[in-house]
Amino acid sequence: MDFVTLAGLLIAFSSVFLANWLGGGEVIFLLNLPSAIIVVFGSIGATLIQSNIKDAIRSLSLLRWSLFPPVYDFDAARATLNNMASKARRLSLLALDSDLNLLGNPFSSRALQMVIDGTDPELLEDRLHDDATRIYNKRMKSVAFIESIGGYAPTLGIMGSVLGLIQAMANLDSPEALGHGIAVAFVSTL
């Protein structure tokens, strides 16, 4: 788990709630459901319009990575590759066929399978480069999806403010409804 990201999130949200509390406000005032619906779901909806469902679903795994980043054991990978190289020199490349599952990821397994099959080194390099580029581009589309949500959120926050003010202005004769509309406006902006 990435404790720095978690700590950053906790500090950011705690500072808002603490400042509100120190200013005499109540925490419940910041938890405004209409504002959350406008900003959160509105931002996701606006982002879905410009994207596709595959990128949206893949972005969920990247969000998971922000708290639980993948851990790579480079020492173990190096030892595995050294053992495979020794085995290939002693026996042959075909002897590595039983070691395909040891690598632990499809990219490396495909590369080893191509080596075992006797693929020309230049062709192997080109194909693996293309695969790596394709994987990178897929991930960057998912990152762009998440960044778009962050880009739309302030706009939807302003839209929530306008909607809250419209509610307030429509209910000038009713103080209870007036306060609710103003709360939606300010919390949406926040």
pLDDT at 72 over 90: no
Integer CA distances (angstroms), 39 to 12, 124, 141, 181, in order: 18, 47, 22, 15
Residue that the structure tokens 């070691």 belong to: 99
Structural domain including 7 reads: 1-30
Both 114 and 80 in one domain: the answer is yes
Structure token digits, residue 15: 């500072």
Q: What is the DSSP code (8-state) at residue 38? A: I
Confirm if 96 and 81 have CB atoms less than 8 A apart. Answer: no
Structural tokens at position 108: 């490396």
Both 159 and 79 in one domain: the answer is no
Mean per-residue pLDDT over the chain, rounded: 87
Residues 151 and 121 in one domain: no
User: Of 91, 115, 134, which residue is a domain's last?
Assistant: 134
Average pLDDT over residues 51-73: 85
Q: How confident is the model over 129-141, as pLDDT tens digits?
A: 999 999 999 989 9
Structural domain total, the chain: 3
Q: Examine the domain organization and report whether 126 and 81 are in the same domain.
A: yes
Whole-model pTM? 0.70
Indicate if 23 and 35 belong to the same structural domain.
no
Residues 89 and 108 reside in one and the same domain? yes
